[in-house]
Structure 1
Amino acid sequence: MNTPIVLALPYPAQGHVTPFMSFSQKLVENGCKVIFVNTEINHNRFVSSMMVREKDNNTLDDETIKLVSVPDGLSPEDERTNFAKQCVGLKSSLPSILEKLIEDYGVSCIVVDFAMGWALEVANKMGIKGAFFFPASAAMFALLNNIPMLIHRGIIDSSGLPVTKRTFRLSESMALMSTETLYWSNTANDPINAKTLFDYVMHCGQALTMSHWWLCNTAYDLEPAVFSFLPKILPIGPLLRTYNTNYITTSFWEEDSSCMSWLDQQPHASVVYVAFGSFALFEETQFRELAFGLELTKRPFLWVVRQDSVNNKNVSYKHEFEGSKGKIVEWGPQQKILSHPSIACFISHCGWNSTIEGLSNGLPFLCWPYFSDQVYDKMYICDELKVGLGFDSDENGLISREEIKAKVDKLLADENIRLRSRVLKKKIENNIQQGGSSSENLNKFINYHEPNTINS
């Protein structure tokens, strides 16, 4: 049998690219070759932070993963955080390029991010197999699959905007959701962008009918109610990053590994790890409250602070807030950090990658969501899994230093939360071990080579 050649097409954001590369490495481990497609800007960031031992910076070992860059349809001065503009640019510029890639590399299957779902129309046109990969929770996958139901129930209008701010359930057995989790509505102050994003999501969702495979970076034991509601979703995660001498880092920033030797010097289960992903922004006042709150805990802390984390680009933080109790890095090897025995808890924005990485290491959470599905993830962590706590804002909308200290102390004093975290870790491990549900689902996909069935 010929080696399967898979084209992997993530949405060009850090939280999408990272699990997609982990998925690609799983494919390679099972005898596939992968054409991994990034936009030119992200490809250049990707390669500049590469940690690979190989002949050039475009392949892994024997060219089983080929990194390919494509234009995103935007001009150099366009802002890539304008999701609506980026989605339009991708959809208009990539179809013909994908056709050429499929022909040039002899691609036999294309796996696309949900947010690139329109690309399955290209696969269908070319007569090759196609599959969806969803990098967030199965609950969010189910939400996007049920937009017509949300309109019918009066939760959102025909433009996708919430009729009122409220919580709801997709089914009686599923966890509460909030209208704040609808990421296209985060641009509600810009109705043109909101409508553009909603139309784009609807278009991507319509392509679900072109794929037999709906793969999701989650585990059955993390979200059992969702799989009862929508059993077509197949959990294949958590897809955790593999560190070895030949791994490709998907980081858009250079990782500062000095934090690992610092962690080695800290007592067991003592360090508060703080990281807010690749998009979250802080006002300077809130940033300083967080810094002083961490100091108030009198515990060692490791804090990831991107250069663009604060709206005021001139704010000085590293020398002011880093001392004998704390270490600050601009970016770090998060999975290595979370698995370190000195980590006690995770103050997180609750992006899905961070969520499953923390849960996979049995860590309790302090939840500080920024936008979109992070709001749902926070609710799920605190109210359903019961392995975390949220922060309460004061009358000015600020999370105070006293609140930060109080919640850190409360979380680390709660033995029940820590016990539930450890139990959940074991359940997740069982899912990804050989014979576990995630492992078996991944094997089913990899070993599936019957022609014309995936697109049927």
Structure 2
Amino acid sequence: MADDGSGSRERHDHHFLIVVYGIQSHINPSRALAHRLTRLGVDDSIRATLCLSVSTHRRMFPSSNGADETTDGVISYTPYSDGLDNNSLPKTDEERARGRRVGFESLSSVIGSLAARGLPVTRVICTMVVPSLLDVALEHGIPLVVYWIQPAHVLAAYYHYFHGYGDLIASHAATDPAHEVSLPGLTRPIRVRDLPSFLADTTGSELTRILNDTIRELLEYVDRQRCKILVNTFDGLEPAVLAEMKRRLDVFVVGPMVGSSTEARLDLFKHDDVDRKRYMDWLDAQPEKSVVYVSFGSISKYKKQQMEEIVQGLKQCGRPYLLVVRKDGLEEDMMGYILESVQDQGMVVEWCNQLEVLSHTAVGCFVTHCGWNSTLEAVASGVPIIGVPNVSDQPTIAYLVEEEWLIGTKVERNSEGILTRKELARCIELIMGEGAKAINITERTKALKRLAQEAAVVGGQAERNLLYFLSSSCISCER
């Protein structure tokens, strides 16, 4: 607030409209950001609305029928149409153009409706893949803020790919994916195969082309409009690359956005208190650092052969395990086989409160697809990682886990792309055994956990950086 000289104080109310792509990995970090922004305001001077696609809003709030605004008492949730309304990405240029047009109209309507209620939007925030919001920001003259919900290394990879390194990377992607490239800010050369998969894809996939075009357009918009970028990481995790990107872009480091194990979360996959009690009671009965926690996120689907190898590998390692398997994540009906294979060694659930599980003393390692939310939660909980990456930023994150941060290992698939039972059991023993590497990994996870907690605590670096972002945006906030 500013003093006008008469003793009264002028209000600088601001309203963030955070437009979120409707998958689990975008929703919870965006919700965490919205809550943190509002908490930093003075006398309700900062408001946040999470804007979700109609299909996602309907799934999260069934009673709303996908059309009504709702609230959790702090932030509001409102739907918009992305032109598809089935929670999918456009598969053709025609679908892309239609979705962009419909999204523009729908988001413009949301902004107009909020303004008519006396709640004008003063900043729009996007989570990387909402092209129509670029048009909306320009049309309505509202500053755009980018919320980068992947590692700073991935931001750097995309940025440099579209700023002079694209031809070099593309020339080696098909012929020599093990070729190492040196990108500004990275502490060491990185293999092409360890870059985000969409930058190293050689299949001619239409989805790859569309996603790369989207990121290219976003970065071009950022360059032209000098947009601020909020990155969900912390300085102690990626210091060199963050320092380099701050030289090139207006970057604010605001992570780790992982909330707390007791904080309410928004899940697209429902589980009730009975489910929670069952797996938490089971964890309570296990020895400290004994349990292998296995979850491959909210998108990946696995064929019968791969799930058989995973289940048998868990049995072979001989340690208790908690396996998360969604029925819609299986390409064939084999839940019965999985449940029959568990016997007394493990437990199978369809979904869980992941941060609560990772925070449990019984968990000794995390077998994960290396999505960024899952990885940050493991880092913040001090749990070693076994990386089973698939697409997007996951290969890069698995590389960072194993070679940069030294907090885990990455599996090697066979010539058919299958993670074998023998390889899974080997990696589990490597991480949870008593060898020198396991000891070193444990010490590294403890060190990074301390850094993550120091960054995330009230008054820590993440909060200070958010305050700096708010003050640089002329927004009233606590000092």
Range class of TM-score, shorter chain? 0.7 to 0.9
- Output the CA distance in 2 between the equivalents of 1:172 and 1:326: 43
- The answer (yes or no) to whether the contact 1:180–1:372 under 8 Å persists in 2 is no
SS of the aligned residue for 2:170 comes to: coil
- Output the CA distance in 2 between the equivalents of 1:422 and 1:49: 43
The one-letter code sitting in structure 2 at the alignment partner of 1:96 is: E
- The answer (yes or no) to whether the contact 1:71–1:94 under 8 Å persists in 2 is yes
**How far off is 1:236 after superposition?**
0.3
Are 2:31 and 1:29 aligned? Answer: no
- The answer (yes or no) to whether the contact 1:178–1:376 under 8 Å persists in 2 is no
Corresponding residue for residue 171 of structure 1 = 184
Select 1:445's aligned residue among 443, 465, 469: 469
Are 2:390 and 1:375 aligned? Answer: no
TM-score by length of 2: 0.84
Are 2:69 and 1:60 aligned? Answer: no
Corresponding residue for residue 104 of structure 1 = 113
SS of the aligned residue for 1:250 comes to: coil
Select 1:46's aligned residue among 60, 76, 98: 60
- The answer (yes or no) to whether the contact 2:260–2:355 under 8 Å persists in 1 is no
- Output the CA distance in 2 between the equivalents of 1:133 and 1:192: 25
- The answer (yes or no) to whether the contact 1:301–1:325 under 8 Å persists in 2 is yes
TM-score by length of 1: 0.88
The one-letter code sitting in structure 1 at the alignment partner of 2:240 is: A
* Alignment CA distance shift 1:152-1:389 (3 Å): closer
Instruction: Kindly provide the CA deviation profile for residues 378-423 of structure 1, in whole angstroms up to 9, marking residues without a partner as x.
Output: 0100001111012223454432222222221111121111011101
335-344 or 435-444, larger mean C-alpha shift: 435-444
The one-letter code sitting in structure 2 at the alignment partner of 1:104 is: S
The one-letter code sitting in structure 1 at the alignment partner of 2:266 is: T
The one-letter code sitting in structure 1 at the alignment partner of 2:181 is: F
Are 2:58 and 1:10 aligned? Answer: no
**How far off is 1:169 after superposition?**
2.9
- Output the CA distance in 2 between the equivalents of 1:241 and 1:302: 22
The one-letter code sitting in structure 2 at the alignment partner of 1:251 is: D
Corresponding residue for residue 233 of structure 1 = 251
The one-letter code sitting in structure 1 at the alignment partner of 2:71 is: T
Instruction: Kindly provide the CA deviation profile for residues 343-383 of structure 1, in whole angstroms up to 9, marking residues without a partner as x.
Output: 10100100111111101111111111011210010010000
Are 2:439 and 1:415 aligned? Answer: yes
Are 2:298 and 1:278 aligned? Answer: yes
SS of the aligned residue for 1:33 comes to: strand
- Output the CA distance in 2 between the equivalents of 1:340 and 1:403: 26
SS of the aligned residue for 1:358 comes to: helix
- The answer (yes or no) to whether the contact 2:290–2:319 under 8 Å persists in 1 is yes
**1:128-147 mapped onto 2 (5 Å cutoff):** 128-147=142-161
RMSD: 2.8
The one-letter code sitting in structure 2 at the alignment partner of 1:145 is: Y
**How far off is 1:133 after superposition?**
0.4
The one-letter code sitting in structure 1 at the alignment partner of 2:182 is: R
Select 1:71's aligned residue among 81, 94, 97: 81
Are 2:360 and 1:344 aligned? Answer: no
104-113 or 307-316, larger mean C-alpha shift: 307-316
**How far off is 1:275 after superposition?**
0.5
**How far off is 1:3 after superposition?**
3.4
**How far off is 1:448 after superposition?**
4.1
186-195 or 347-356, larger mean C-alpha shift: 186-195
- Output the CA distance in 2 between the equivalents of 1:394 and 1:146: 31
Corresponding residue for residue 5 of structure 2 = none
Flag the structure with more relative contact order, 1 or 2, with Cα contacts below 8 A and sequence separation at least 6: 1
The one-letter code sitting in structure 1 at the alignment partner of 2:466 is: L
**1:68-217 mapped onto 2 (5 Å cutoff):** 68-74=78-84, 80=88, 88-105=97-114, 106-116=120-130, 119-151=133-165, 153-156=167-170, 165=177, 166-171=179-184, 173-175=186-188, 176-179=190-193, 181-184=195-198, 188-209=202-223, 210-217=225-232
* Alignment CA distance shift 1:182-1:409 (3 Å): closer
Instruction: Kindly provide the CA deviation profile for residues 188-218 of structure 1, in whole angstroms up to 9, marking residues without a partner as x.
Output: 5354443333322221221213244110100
- The answer (yes or no) to whether the contact 2:231–2:253 under 8 Å persists in 1 is yes
Corresponding residue for residue 331 of structure 2 = 311
The one-letter code sitting in structure 2 at the alignment partner of 1:426 is: R
Computing the radius of gyration over CA atoms, which structure comes out larger, 1 or 2?
2
* Alignment CA distance shift 1:316-1:380 (3 Å): same
The one-letter code sitting in structure 2 at the alignment partner of 1:174 is: T
* Alignment CA distance shift 1:393-1:253 (3 Å): same
Are 2:268 and 1:252 aligned? Answer: yes
- Output the CA distance in 1 between the equivalents of 2:321 and 2:77: 36
- Output the CA distance in 2 between the equivalents of 1:395 and 1:179: 15
**How far off is 1:447 after superposition?**
3.8
- Which 5+ residue runs of structure 1 have no aligned equivalent? 51-55, 452-456
- Output the CA distance in 1 between the equivalents of 2:227 and 2:211: 25
275-284 or 379-388, larger mean C-alpha shift: 275-284
- Output the CA distance in 2 between the equivalents of 1:295 and 1:113: 39
Report % sequence identity.
Answer: 24
Are 2:360 and 1:333 aligned? Answer: no
- Output the CA distance in 2 between the equivalents of 1:34 and 1:287: 41
SS of the aligned residue for 1:423 comes to: helix
**How far off is 1:91 after superposition?**
2.1
- Output the CA distance in 2 between the equivalents of 1:215 and 1:116: 16
Corresponding residue for residue 403 of structure 1 = 423
392-401 or 207-216, larger mean C-alpha shift: 392-401
Corresponding residue for residue 7 of structure 2 = none
* Alignment CA distance shift 1:177-1:225 (3 Å): farther
- The answer (yes or no) to whether the contact 2:160–2:166 under 8 Å persists in 1 is no
